[in-house]
Structure 1
């Protein structure tokens, strides 16, 4: 006979699984759906660690989400893992892998020095028919050191979650295709609007200029009136052009490139802060490989959001922004301040983010993480009261899966 605790746990399990499924069915953010699935896998199976990896087609991962580790622990691990050892096995073998001790398996390779020690291991591929889209991994049964391995029931539950992850990833692919079609349609619409609106104004400009030219000698007063009309028409045309293309891509990225655009913005911001007694804002960069346009926009927007948070909340004396390369391509951004800091969610428990500033900062962090997820990147936040805040973004160099 089941106890009240058993029934409560079962209800909690159903609720978490339901939330993951609803997130997918409502076509919400794919990153959030996958995070819910990873969280559900860890909690429902009772694992110390859980992860979900989506390959990038180049030997690494376009997405790699982890539960059970703090941002500090994750940052200490270094770049995203490559597909080696058991990670590679699960991405190429359709069968689940359930091991009492992963390090004793001959297929085990290695892990970074900062990687947590794993014994019990359970991995299940995320499949769409015969195609493997990714994998769910669990490490160590909780509580740590209990000597228990994963069970057949755990494997069945993880297989169910992997099926829902496959739905989320399939939806993401469909959404990407729809988005590309929508972009093509939007470009066609913009071209049509530019032709209909701006082209008409340019035609009017030409006619007015010709009329003004013919009146310069015979009627200077009327010529000056025509010149005024030319100025007004030119202003209208410029505004319509700006409205049409302004949201497609920040102009400074096309003109200057990422690093130069960031330096210009930060220099202007620093001068403004110095004039009003604000913090010193500095920028340092190292050469990076060319990034896809969407990735550049994410880096720029996350830098702007992190700077906004620091200026609004940190009460810092100095904010340092750095941009540099990742070892295997891509870019790393960091925004570090020496301000008051705050309790991260991992360290604050249930009482975190109870005031308006913390809630607003939380929304900013969520926005940055969503932007990073959209290109297969990740955002790590390190902070503590009185110790400042560091926001670090990593984006891959290629197109995300």
Structure 2
């Protein structure tokens, strides 16, 4: 169960394991919501056609509701004889022997396992078997492991959601800074051209030429944002080959000389590798598009005591004043780079001065 990180897959593995463990014909696992129903409800032993015929997910009533309120297991010889039993839909299979065990996170019930119709390997034909105290003991052990696996899977999915939210925030920054300002200028220029077209055609033509230039720049910036959305081949190739490949392409595509030197870096957590790659891409973009550099050098080496990594991007371009927050922070994407560094516990240092080029240094700790 612990090998799986997707919540749905974890739930399915739990319910299948429970059914096999105690020799049940049917098994189900319900995760409650806050509105009297189930956020998730998975089954094992019932075909897809049967499941569709049964209809909507059950509500929290009868024995199911009891299982979500009482931390004690429920072991019944015949669930239909229990006063809490409220029946089931027409297409629902007939069930008798019942064993239910809650899945606990501390004192909180985060789910419940429901097993029905005991069939031992030696007596598969018997329909009157009941679940034993030993079955209950085994299922309680499984439920304890299931709680850990389910909690881990939820934390993983939450972490992934936060990562995606962070990416959306970064993309929003990029779209605003790189594209929307260009489009705003384009609109104003088009309005100026419209106002001049009758009384000063030559100036109107010049303004329209500016419109064309701004539109081309906006399209180029938008392409850059879209390229950023593509997942880098970090998982397949690793950080060094991915960086090396991208820098080789940039060296061929631009007049500036782009070089890459590195020494072997120990394996890093995926989030740190992604941050190093993205900061390198941002710094390279700035150097090649805005600085007028003739040479850009990228270096990647181990950090202090051989742990972590240090990325350095140096260009011989025009440089700028780092304290100029409006220009440096917004136009050159420094906010995005700083956010990425902070997100992985790293530090970002930027050294620049007019006419003296720029050095961007990102250091990430060891994993």
TM-score, length basis structure 2: 0.53
Once residues 109 and 225 of structure 2 are traced to their aligned partners in structure 1, the CA distance between those partners, rounded to angstroms, is 41
Distance change in 2, residues 1:91/1:234 (3 Å): same
Residues 174-231 of structure 1 deviation map (CA, whole Å, 9 limit, x = unaligned): 3454345334433432332123212442365367558757975797457435414413
Moved more, 145-154 or 119-128: 145-154
Task: Select which of 197, 213, 218 maps to 1:237.
Answer: 218
Task: Select which of 140, 160, 183 maps to 1:202.
Answer: 183
Partner of 1:61: 38
Task: Select which of 79, 90, 94 maps to 2:71.
Answer: 94
Q: What is the aligned length?
A: 225
Task: Select which of 143, 146, 155 maps to 1:165.
Answer: 146
Residues 321-365 of structure 1 deviation map (CA, whole Å, 9 limit, x = unaligned): xxxxxxxxxxxxxxxxxxxxxxxxxxxxxxxxxxxxxxxxxxxxx
Residues 78-112 of structure 1 deviation map (CA, whole Å, 9 limit, x = unaligned): 11111111111111110111111111222222111
Alignment of 1:81-230 (within 5 A): 81-142=58-119, 143=124, 145-202=126-183, 204-205=185-186, 208-209=189-190, 220=201, 223-230=204-211
Across the aligned residues of Structure 1 and Structure 2, the Cα RMSD in angstroms comes to 3.3
Residues 52-74 of structure 1 deviation map (CA, whole Å, 9 limit, x = unaligned): 00111111111110110111111
Secondary structure of 2:31's partner?
strand
User: What is the deviation of 1:141?
Assistant: 1.4
Partner of 1:294: none
Q: Does the aligned pair in 1 maintain the 2:10–2:153 contact within 8 Å?
A: no
Once residues 235 and 167 of structure 1 are traced to their aligned partners in structure 2, the CA distance between those partners, rounded to angstroms, is 53
Secondary structure of 2:167's partner?
helix
Runs of at least 5 residues in structure 1 that lack an aligned partner in the other structure: 1-19, 249-401
Q: Does the aligned pair in 1 maintain the 2:6–2:157 contact within 8 Å?
A: no
Q: Does the aligned pair in 2 maintain the 1:209–1:230 contact within 8 Å?
A: yes
Distance change in 2, residues 1:173/1:223 (3 Å): same
Distance change in 2, residues 1:125/1:230 (3 Å): same
Task: Select which of 3, 16, 19 maps to 1:39.
Answer: 16
Runs of at least 5 residues in structure 2 that lack an aligned partner in the other structure: 230-367
Q: Does the aligned pair in 2 maintain the 1:48–1:144 contact within 8 Å?
A: no
Alignment of 1:1-400 (within 5 A): 20-23=1-4, 28-142=5-119, 143=124, 145-202=126-183, 204-205=185-186, 208-209=189-190, 220=201, 223-234=204-215, 236-237=217-218
Q: Does the aligned pair in 1 maintain the 2:62–2:85 contact within 8 Å?
A: yes
User: What is the deviation of 1:45?
Assistant: 1.5
Q: Answer 1 or 2: higher relative contact order, Cα 8 Å, separation at least 6.
A: 1
Q: Does the aligned pair in 1 maintain the 2:31–2:110 contact within 8 Å?
A: yes
Once residues 71 and 144 of structure 1 are traced to their aligned partners in structure 2, the CA distance between those partners, rounded to angstroms, is 24
Once residues 213 and 84 of structure 1 are traced to their aligned partners in structure 2, the CA distance between those partners, rounded to angstroms, is 69
Once residues 71 and 195 of structure 2 are traced to their aligned partners in structure 1, the CA distance between those partners, rounded to angstroms, is 80
Secondary structure of 2:2's partner?
helix
Once residues 47 and 191 of structure 1 are traced to their aligned partners in structure 2, the CA distance between those partners, rounded to angstroms, is 52
Bigger Rg over Cα: 2
Secondary structure of 1:22's partner?
coil
